[in-house]
């Protein structure tokens, strides 16, 4: 194989797959990227066997063929190059030559025929979704996915179709057992998407999908067997779905809120960041007290001291006091766009609900902590 290719185009592709390729694997081939030169195009492929990515870019193909080259080293070489053209040539005995006419590298590579075959599912019914909508849905749910190894059932975002008020919505829900985030968005032609009982999309796959969606423009999504298929321009992403059953999340969402207050999102976000300063693994609760138009926040750590802040709110009800993890408030508020947020409370044993007018279809839920 021998190609000459635009440095910026190949660098963009190689950068995109850095989080897919396995750096610590008992299969060294998974740390490589497969470059395939065919006709007038160069195909870049990466996989960890759970996620497969493939993108085609134009190139000057001098000789067709394929090489499996270290994904990390190729990224670092391209990153440091300032030239517009890049020359890649396969040599004998699994070596590859790379040059930008200034610097030259000879890298050891692996046999291309050992690379896992990328299989694009056939006959997938696809629908178009605006990338910015998909990106918003991911950003407002993915932070609630559990990071604990034991929480396999919760290690993805549950995605399903829901109908209310005569309209069909795409819903994403994530929870780690201590908080929940949920968002509904109307999507054109959603009825034709084969999504009977909902699916579990793994967090890593969603992060890769978000890279494509965040660039804007339409994204094609579809399902085939146990794969979630995404297409955008010349890029294809195939994500293997989780087979875990997502718990019944409806039971934890209160049907009504006894007390509701509204306040500036930035004001609450800054206050929670201050409460986080004195927290650690043992002491990480903020006490929220509502009384006489004041929302009092107090964070106590016997080893360090106490932080306290009062925020004026419109609240005339009986005194309400509950403990929460300030980090959960910060994550939720950072994902929101509303200038004003609404907090809903029932009592000190029920979750706090967060909503905002500019965050249509979104609901954040945070479970209380024992003080």
pLDDT tens for each residue of 255-295 = 888 899 999 999 999 999 999 998 888 888 999 999 999 99
- How far is it, in rounded angstroms, from Cα 134 to Cα 198? 17
**Torsion-angle region of 168 (φ positive above 0: left; ψ -120 to 50: alpha; else: beta):** beta
Give the pLDDT confidence score for residue 34 in this predicted structure. Answer: 97
Contact 22, 30 (CB under 8 A): yes
Task: Categorize the per-residue pLDDT at 151 as very low, low, confident or very high, splitting at 50, 70 and 90.
Answer: low
| Residue range 223-240: mean pLDDT, rounded | 94
Confidence of residue 120 (pLDDT cuts 50, 70, 90): confident
Q: How far is CA 164 from the centre of its chain?
A: 26
In the chain, where the domains are located: 2-114, 126-214+239-250, 257-366
CA distance 70 to 29: 9
Measured CA to CA, the distance from residue 7 to residue 100 in angstroms comes to 9
Instruction: Inform me whether the pLDDT recorded for 137 exceeds 80.
Output: yes
**Is 349 exposed, middle or buried (CB count within 10 Å of its CB: 0-12, 13-18, 19+)?**
exposed
Say what the pTM is. 0.92
- Cα 108 to Cα 95: distance, rounded to the nearest angstrom: 5
218, 178 contact by CB (below 8 A): no
Q: What is the pLDDT of residues 335-358, one digit of tens each?
A: 999 999 999 999 989 999 999 999
Q: Examine the pLDDT at 326 and tell me if it is beyond 90.
A: yes
Q: Which residues of 97-115 are buried (b: 16+ CB within 10 A; e: fewer)?
A: ebbbeeeeeebebbebeeb
Higher pLDDT, 96 or 257: 96
Whether residue 152 is predicted with pLDDT greater than 70 in this model: the reply is no
Assigned architecture for domain 2-114:
Roll (3.10)
Instruction: Evaluate if residue 150 carries a pLDDT over 60.
Output: no
Q: How confident is residue 146, by pLDDT bands cut at 50, 70 and 90?
A: confident
CATH domain 126-214+239-250 topology? DNA Polymerase III; Chain A, domain 2 (3.10.150)
Six-digit token pair at 368? 């209380």
Residues 6+ apart with CB under 8 A from 258: 345, 346, 347
Alpha carbon distance 28, 11 (integer Å): 22
Question: In the CATH hierarchy, which top-level class contains the domain 257-366?
Answer: alpha beta
Beta bridge partners of residue 239, listed in sequence order: 51, 228
Please tell me if the domain spanning 2-114 has the same topology as the one spanning 257-366. yes
């Amino acid at each position: 194989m021998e190609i000459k290719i635009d440095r910026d185009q190949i660098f963009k592709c190689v950068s995109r797959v850095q989080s897919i390729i396995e750096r610590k694997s008992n299969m060294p081939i998974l740390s490589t990227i497969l470059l395939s030169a065919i006709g007038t195009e160069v195909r870049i492929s990466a996989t960890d066997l759970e996620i497969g990515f493939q993108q085609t870019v134009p190139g000057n193909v001098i000789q067709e063929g394929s090489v499996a080259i270290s994904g990390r080293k190729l990224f670092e070489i391209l990153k440091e190059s300032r030239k517009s053209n890049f020359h890649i040539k396969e040599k004998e005995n699994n070596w590859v030559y790379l040059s930008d006419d200034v610097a030259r590298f000879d890298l050891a590579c692996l046999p291309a025929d050992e690379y896992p075959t990328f299989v694009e599912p056939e006959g997938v019914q696809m629908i178009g979704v605006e990338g910015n909508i998909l990106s918003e849905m991911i950003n407002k749910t993915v932070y609630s996915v559990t990071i604990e190894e034991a929480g396999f059932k919760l290690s993805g975002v549950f995605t399903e179709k829901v109908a209310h008020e005569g309209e069909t919505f795409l819903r994403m829900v994530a929870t780690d057992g201590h908080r929940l985030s949920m968002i509904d968005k109307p999507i054109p032609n959603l009825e034709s998407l084969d999504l009977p009982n909902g699916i579990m999309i793994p967090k890593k796959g969603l992060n890769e999908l978000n890279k494509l969606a965040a660039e804007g423009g339409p994204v094609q999504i579809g399902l085939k067997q146990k794969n979630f298929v995404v297409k955008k321009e010349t890029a294809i992403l195939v994500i293997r779905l989780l087979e875990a059953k997502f718990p019944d999340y409806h039971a934890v969402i209160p049907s009504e809120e006894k007390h509701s207050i509204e306040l500036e999102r930035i004001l609450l976000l800054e206050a929670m960041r201050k409460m986080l300063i004195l927290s650690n693994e043992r002491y990480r609760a903020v006490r929220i007290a509502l009384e006489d138009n004041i929302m009092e926040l107090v964070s106590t750590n016997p080893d360090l001291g106490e932080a306290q802040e009062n925020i004026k709110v419109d609240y005339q009800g009986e005194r309400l006091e509950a403990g929460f993890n300030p980090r959960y408030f910060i994550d939720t508020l950072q994902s929101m766009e509303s200038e004003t947020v609404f907090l809903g409370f029932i009592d000190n044993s029920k979750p706090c609900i967060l909503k905002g007018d500019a965050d249509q279809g979104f609901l954040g839920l945070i479970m209380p902590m024992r003080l």
